[in-house]
Amino acid sequence: MYRLRFALFLLLLSSTIATAKPTGLNYLLDACQVLTSSGIVQGHVASWPENTSVFEFLGIPFAQPPLGQLRFAAPQAYQQDTSSVFVADKCILDITVGEYLTKFQTDSWIRRDCMQYTGSASQNVSAQVAAYGYGMGGGNATDPHSYSEDCLTVNVWAKPTGQKNKAVMVWIYGGAFSAGTSNAPFYNGALLAEDEDVIVNLGLLDQRLAVEWVRDNIAGFGGDASRITLFGESAGGSSVDYYSYAWTEDPIVTGFIAESGTAFILHATNESDYSGWYNISEALGCGGEEVGEQTIQCVRDVNATALMNAVGQQASGGISTTFGPVADGKVVFADVKNRSAAGDFIQRPLFVGNNDNELGLILALGDSLFGGGNPGNLSTPDLIKFGSAAEFVCPAALTAKDRAVNGVPTWRYRYMGVWNNTALVPGMGAYHSSEIPFVFGTNELRPNSTTDTPEEANLAKIMVHAWAEFAKDPQNGLNGLNWPQYNPNGTTLIRLGYNNQSEPNIGNGTDYDGLCSILGP
């Protein structure tokens, strides 16, 4: 499986604001420097929001570059003389949103993505679709991404004011385990750090090593290593859930937020199925099954661009490739459904949910985004309905039920907001990933975006606050907002953006789970 860049949104959260600078950013604060196991990292005042007091540290290496013998190998912790200084860009003071977008387009400090197959997206898309793609880190014709295998880095956003020992949020982005980037305006953690006084993180073994880096270094940024919440969306949400099964003996994290993704959403391939690998090794002239493990060294020696071209030739369509989670019995388990029912997971609080019309994204991007698979030859409305239920609704329902039945504090949400300035085409509803700008409060970073409605802006504030409150106190934070813990037999589903209302509305999960008895997770 290819590595995805992991960006640390070290959103340092605290419940009160103070004016004095604590010792959190404890190493030469005036020079934007913090001492870490990766050396002294030098950050800068965040580029956005305007007049922020947040510092950002971009591209800090947490693992050795996966080059040469480390390609297709377990990650190794980054080794650096702690007296050396890693410059995570220069200090930037006052900057407007427009200037921020320009800087985002032109500067190199946030544009180095991991090698990945990007598909062949159509250039004939609407301005809104293009803006959505850019916001999610897709780049554009005038702003192409650069790719490198040297990409195992973290981004940190932290505010030097406020409480000491702030809660920490670690973000894992999505991308079907094949693509994705932390270089996305919608994933900017500065507002969470500014308004909610938290520390946030972006970016299966690579992710674990990044979490260990956070545990070992977050105190230097003012964070509390005993309060780390792992959150992610789509494949990132699945990664969050996979983590909860893999590291039961040494959890590190204290809470989980899984948005539109669980361990059930993407079905792990069997450990004995090497066909995808051998198809690629043969395409690269390294032989196939007949030479077995010898293919590994050969592929390690192949030029990265040639490797990506070979991956693209084997792609199933859209962003999907033959690489993905493999049930190895150590990090990913084939019997995850049984483990879920038995409570064999990290029993820490969970906030899980999905969007109202996940596969409505097909209406804007085409079903090729998901590989064009439609074995039942369903109409588009039925494909959206059944696909959304099978891949998102039912897995979230089962995950929430099993956690609740096993006595784990659990909350389940359903995002339902439909807004004119976020709709990509008419009729697509609350589509896959449309909640992300509301979680991060980054809607204004959408290029050419119109002003949010009052209800939309207020909902974003509520969601930013709720996600942060969960991270500050996973056991009780959402109780303080009067959001009910999930009961599969009760009216406890938290509906966000219901009828475009800004205030949460409580419904019954069974109203949306009708297809689950047929489809299963």
Active site residues: 234
- Collapsing DSSP to helix, strand or coil, 234 comes out as coil
DSSP type of residue 452: P
Show the DSSP H helices in 218-293 as ranges: 235-246, 275-283
By the 8 A CB rule, do 283 and 117 touch? no
Q: What angle do CA 286, 291, 295 make, to 5 degrees?
A: 40
CA dihedral sign of residues 456, 460, 461, 465: positive
Separation between Cα atoms, residue 396 and residue 353, nearest integer Å:
6
| Residue at token pair 């219901």 | 498
For residue 352, give every residue at least 6 positions away whose Cβ sits within 8 Å of its Cβ, in sequence order, or none. 237, 256, 257, 258, 259, 262, 396, 399, 400, 403, 410, 411, 412, 413
Separation between Cα atoms, residue 414 and residue 407, nearest integer Å:
22
3-state per-residue secondary structure call for 123-151 = CCCCHHHHHHHHHCCCCECCECCEECCCC
Cα distance from N-terminal residue to C-terminal residue, the chain = 23
CA distances to 90, 104, 114, 117, 429 from 203, rounded to whole Å, are: 23, 18, 11, 17, 27
40: β partners: 35, 85
Amino acid identity of residue 328, one-letter, is D
For residue 310, give every residue at least 6 positions away whose Cβ sits within 8 Å of its Cβ, in sequence order, or none. 280, 283, 284
Nearest to 203 by CA among 441, 8, 442: 8
By the 8 A CB rule, do 33 and 85 touch? yes
Backbone angles phi, psi at 123, to 5 degrees: -85, -10
Q: How many CA atoms lie within 13 A of 35 on its CB side?
A: 7
